[in-house]
Amino acid sequence: MAKRKGGSRAKLGTGKRFAALKKKLGARKGKKKVSDPAAVAAAIGRAKYGKKRFQQLAAKGRKRKGK
């Protein structure tokens, strides 16, 4: 298993992990280029956390963004 570089990851539910993944996917070039990085990041999140949990995190992020 590969070791991560740097410190700990952002807290779950802040949206920073999602934004980082979206940025990473958007930077891909060549055959692995992604046309809609946000959609791919959302699909990965749903696969990892399940539909219900991912929707809870999205709602939490929307509430935070409104403040």
In a domain, 3, yes or no: no
In tens, the pLDDT along 21-42 reads 999 999 999 999 999 999 999 9
In a domain, 27, yes or no: no
**pLDDT tier at 8, thresholds 50, 70, 90:** confident
In a domain, 10, yes or no: no
Residue 23: CA count within 13 A, CB half-sphere: 6
**Which domain range does residue 57 map to?**
38-67
Mean pLDDT, residues 38-60 taken together: 92
Helix-helix angle 16-26:37-49, to 10 degrees = 130
Our count of domains for the chain comes to 1
In a domain, 1, yes or no: no
The pLDDT assigned to 67 comes to 56
In a domain, 31, yes or no: no
In a domain, 32, yes or no: no
Mean pLDDT, residues 3-27 taken together: 83
Torsion angle of C-alpha atoms 66, 34, 36, 62, degrees rounded to 10: -20
Residue 27's SS3 state is coil
Mean pLDDT, residues 7-25 taken together: 86
In a domain, 65, yes or no: yes
In a domain, 45, yes or no: yes
